[in-house]
Amino acid sequence: MAPLLIPTRNRPTSLSNVLRFLARYYRSSHIIIADGSDEDFKNHNRQNVEAFRHDLALDYRPYPAEYPFFDRLLDVLRAETSEFMIMGSDDDYPMMDTLGEAEAFLLQNRDFCVAAGMLVSMNLESPTKLSAKPFLVRPISADDPLSRARQFAVWPFQTTYAVTRRDVLIERYERARKLFLVSFYDFSAGIQDCMHGKIKALPKIGFIRTLNYQHSYLRPESDLLFLRRSQQVLQTMHQFQRDLMHYAGLNEEAALEESERFITHRIRELVGRPVHALKDFESKPMYLNRTVQLQFELFDALFEKDTPTRKKYEEKLAFILSAIKANAQSDDNKGEKKKNETLEGQIAQTLVAVGASEE
C-alpha cells in the first residue's frame, strides 16, 4: 500500500498516539515520519519510533528545526518511488482500509489524481467540551480542467488527507514553497488538483482529524487576512490564470476572468457567506449528490447510539478521544502561540520559546 507520510513538529505525545493507533488497527502500514521538531522533542520522537519498530514499517527522517516545512516534504517525496502517497498528520487518524480502497481506485483509473474519504473533525474545545463536524468530499469528474475547477470552487473541500499521485504532490509543494497563504492553501491545492485530473470521493471515513485547546495551529490571526495579505491573494489568482491557460487552453483574458471568479468564491466563504448558507442550497444537485448524502448519513450514524456505524467505529472513537485528552494535557507545542499564520513565524516563535525556556 502507498506510504503514509506524517510531518511532525514538537508533538511527541500526539505522534506517539497516532503510531499506537496504527499499530493496534493497521499493523501493515508503511509510515514515513518527517520530523522538524526542536531537539528535545526529537529525542522523544526517536524513543517513540523505536518502541514501535516491531509493529510498523517505520522510516524516521529527522530534519533541522529551521528547515522549511515544504522543503521537508519535497525531500521525502523526491526520494520515494511509489506512484501514490497518503498525506497524514501527527494528530490525525487515518482509516487505512478506506485509503486502501482509494488507492485501488486510482490504480484502475488513470484520469483521476486524488481519491479521498470524508474527514471527521473532533475538537476538544475545553477540558469538558468536545465538538464534532463533518468535512465532506465531493466527486469532481468532468472531463476538462475548467469544468472541474468551476465545480470545485463553488463548494470547495480539503484534498490533502487523501491518496494522491506523487507527481501532483511534488508540484503542489514546489508551489507552496514560493506562495503559502494559510486561508487559501487548501482551496489552491484543490484547484491545482482539478488541473491534473478528476477527484474520487468515497462515502466512507478517510481520516478522523483532532484538535485541542492547547495545541498550536497554522491559522489566520484575524478574519481580514485576505486584506492584509492582498498581494499574496493576487499572486494566487494569477497562478490560477496561468494554470487555466496551460491546462485548459484559455486565452489570457478568459483565464483571468475565471480566476477572479474563483477568488471571489473563496472570499465569500471567508466573510461568512459560504455556498451552503445560501437560499435553496439544499435543492442543488451538488448537495443532493448520492455520495454527499451518504456522508451525511454516515456522520449522523457515527454519533448516534446503537447504530451499526457507531458499533463499527466505537472502539476507535474511544481510543481517539482518550488520545485527544492526553495530547491536551501533554507538553506538545509547549510555549508556542495558539495561532501562527505563516510557517516562518511558526518556526521563529518556536525557536524563541525554546531559547527562553533554556535560560
- List pLDDT tens digits, range 36-95: 999 999 999 999 999 999 999 999 999 999 999 999 999 999 999 999 999 999 999 999
Alpha carbons 206 and 47: distance in angstroms, whole number: 28
Task: Look at the chain and report how many structural domains it folds into.
Answer: 1
What is the DSSP secondary structure assignment for residue 122, as one 8-state letter?
A: E
Report the C-alpha gap between 58 and 35 in whole angstroms.
13
- Cα 103 vs. chain centroid, distance in angstroms? 17
pLDDT, position 357: 41
- Here the CATH number for the domain that contains residue 103 is 3.90.550.10
Q: Please state, in angstroms and rounded to a whole number, the distance separating the CA atoms of residues 291 and 285.
A: 11
Q: Which residues of 29-43 are buried (b: 16+ CB within 10 A; e: fewer)?
A: bebbbbbbbbeebbe
User: pLDDT (tens digit, 9 = 90+) per residue, 128-184?
Assistant: 999 999 999 999 999 999 999 999 999 999 999 999 999 999 999 999 999 999 999
Residue 157's nearest CA partner among 266, 319, 26, 39 is: 266
| Separate counts of helices (H) and strands (E) for the chain | 14, 11
Residues 6+ positions from 294 with CB-CB distance below 8 Å: 203
**With 0-12 CB in 10 A as exposed, 13-18 as middle and 19+ as buried, what is 322?**
exposed
- Note down the domain range covering 347: 4-358
Q: Is the pLDDT of residue 193 over 70?
A: yes
E strand or H helix that includes residue 209: strand 198-212
Q: How far apart are alpha carbons 19 and 55 in whole angstroms?
A: 9
Predicted confidence (pLDDT) at residue 353 exceeds the cutoff of 90: no
**Rounded-to-integer distance, Cα 113 and Cα 107, Å:** 10
Condensed to tens digits (0 to 9), the pLDDT of residues 26-37 reads 998 999 999 999
239, with CB counted inside 10 A (0-12, 13-18, 19+), is middle
